[in-house]
Amino acid sequence: MQSTTMSDQHTTFAGQSVANSEPAMPAEIGPYRIVRTIGRGGMGIVYLGESSLPKRQAAIKLMLTDRFDTEGVARFRREMDVLARLDHPGIARLFEAGSLSDEGGNRPWFAMEYIEGQSLDDYVREQKLNHRQIFGLVGQIAKALHYAHQRGVIHRDIKPANILVDRQGQPKILDFGIARLSEGGEAVGIKTRFGQIIGTLAYMSPEQFSGAHQADVRSDVYALGVVLYQLLSGQLPISIGTTSLLEAIKEVTEGRRTPLSERQPQFKGEVELIVETACQRDVEHRYDSAASFAQDLEAYLRNRPLSARKPSLAYVFGKFVRRNPLIAGALALAVVSLVVATIWSSIAADRALRAELAATQRAQETEAVMGLLTDAIREAAPDQARGKDLRLSEVLESLSQSRMSDVAPGVGIRLRETLFESRLALADYDAATLELDQLDKLCGSDASHPSCWLNGARRGRFLALAGKSEQALPFMQQAISTAKTRTDLDPEILKGLEVEYADALNQTGQSEKSIALLREIIARPAAPGTLDARKQLQRVNLLSDALGEFGKLDEAEQALARAIPDAEAALGADHPTVILARNSLITYRFDRDDYAGAITEFSELLKVAEQSLGPEHRVTMTILGNLAAARGMNREFDAAVALFMRRDEVFAKRYTRDWRSRLNNIVNLASMQIQRNEFQEGLDRVDGALKAVPADASLSPEWGNALNWRATFLRRLGRLDEAEAQYRELIGKFVASFGEGDIQLTRYRMRLAGTLVDQKNFAEAQTLLDQTLPILIETYGESHNTVIEARGYLDQIKAAAGK
The 3-state DSSP class for residue 107 equals strand
pLDDT given for residue 227 in this prediction: 95
* Integer CA distances (angstroms), 135 to 19, 65, 170, 557, in order: 42, 41, 13, 27
Give mean pLDDT, residues 742-753: 88
Among the residue ranges 40-49, 384-393, 552-561, 675-684, the one predicted with the least confidence is 384-393
Residue 104 has pLDDT above 50, yes or no: yes
- Whether the Cβ atoms of residue 308 and residue 296 lie closer than 8 Å to each other: yes
Most confident of 28-37, 351-360, 387-396, 563-572: 28-37
Residue 7 has pLDDT above 50, yes or no: no
Residues whose CB is less than 8 angstroms from the CB of residue 709 and which lie 6 or more positions away in sequence, other chains included = 666, 667, 670, 671, 674, 682, 686
* Residue 653 counted as an annotated binding residue: no
Helix axes 120-127, 131-150, angle to 10 degrees: 160
Tens of pLDDT, residues 563-595: 899 888 888 888 888 998 999 899 887 767 788
Residues whose CB is less than 8 angstroms from the CB of residue 210 and which lie 6 or more positions away in sequence, other chains included = none
The one-letter code for the residue type at 50 is: E
pLDDT given for residue 191 in this prediction: 38
- Whether the Cβ atoms of residue 715 and residue 755 lie closer than 8 Å to each other: yes
Residue 9 has pLDDT above 70, yes or no: no
pLDDT given for residue 325 in this prediction: 39
pLDDT-based confidence at residue 680 (cuts at 50, 70, 90): very high
pLDDT given for residue 16 in this prediction: 32
Average pLDDT, rounded, for the chain: 75
pLDDT-based confidence at residue 321 (cuts at 50, 70, 90): very low
* Integer CA distances (angstroms), 603 to 80, 282, 486, in order: 61, 54, 47
Show the DSSP H helices in 234-327 as ranges.
Answer: 245-254, 260-263, 270-278, 290-301, 313-323
Tens of pLDDT, residues 269-283: 889 999 999 998 888
Most confident of 150-159, 455-464, 599-608: 599-608
pLDDT given for residue 60 in this prediction: 92
pLDDT-based confidence at residue 511 (cuts at 50, 70, 90): confident
Who wins on pLDDT, 777 or 10? 777
Greatest Cα-to-Cα distance within the chain, rounded to the nearest angstrom: 114
User: In which region does residue 233 sit, left (phi positive, over 0), alpha (psi from -120 to 50) or beta (all else)?
Assistant: alpha
Strand bridging mode 55-63 / 44-52: antiparallel
Who wins on pLDDT, 439 or 325? 439
Tens of pLDDT, residues 404-443: 555 555 666 777 777 776 666 666 666 777 777 777 777 7
Among the residue ranges 162-171, 381-390, 471-480, 694-703, the one predicted with the least confidence is 381-390
pLDDT-based confidence at residue 326 (cuts at 50, 70, 90): very low
Report whether the peptide linkage leading into residue 54 is cis, meaning its omega lies within 30 degrees of zero: yes
pLDDT given for residue 72 in this prediction: 60
Closest listed residue to residue 45, CA positions, set 94, 6, 96: 6
pLDDT given for residue 81 in this prediction: 72
Show contacts of 120-123: CB within 8 Å, 24+ apart.
120/160, 120/163, 120/164, 120/165, 120/171, 120/227, 120/231, 121/160, 121/161, 121/230, 121/231, 122/1, 122/160, 123/165
The rounded distance, in Å, linking the Cα atoms of 553 and 544 is 8
* Integer CA distances (angstroms), 111 to 3, 53, 177, in order: 11, 14, 14
Tens of pLDDT, residues 128-145: 999 989 999 999 999 999
| Number of Cβ within a 10 Å radius of residue 221 | 30
- Whether the Cβ atoms of residue 663 and residue 685 lie closer than 8 Å to each other: no
The one-letter code for the residue type at 464 is: A
Domains of the chain (ranges; CATH) run 7-113 (3.30.200.20), 117-310 (1.10.510.10)
Distance, CA of 74 to chain centre: 44
Stated length of the chain: 803
- Whether the Cβ atoms of residue 290 and residue 146 lie closer than 8 Å to each other: yes
Q: Say which DSSP state 349 is in.
A: I
- Whether the Cβ atoms of residue 518 and residue 548 lie closer than 8 Å to each other: no
Tens of pLDDT, residues 42-79: 677 899 999 988 888 999 988 876 555 555 666 677 76
The rounded distance, in Å, linking the Cα atoms of 150 and 243 is 37
Please state the pTM of the whole predicted model.
Answer: 0.45
pLDDT given for residue 17 in this prediction: 33
pLDDT given for residue 338 in this prediction: 33
The rounded distance, in Å, linking the Cα atoms of 270 and 301 is 11
Q: Say which DSSP state 91 is in.
A: B
Residue 624 has pLDDT above 70, yes or no: yes
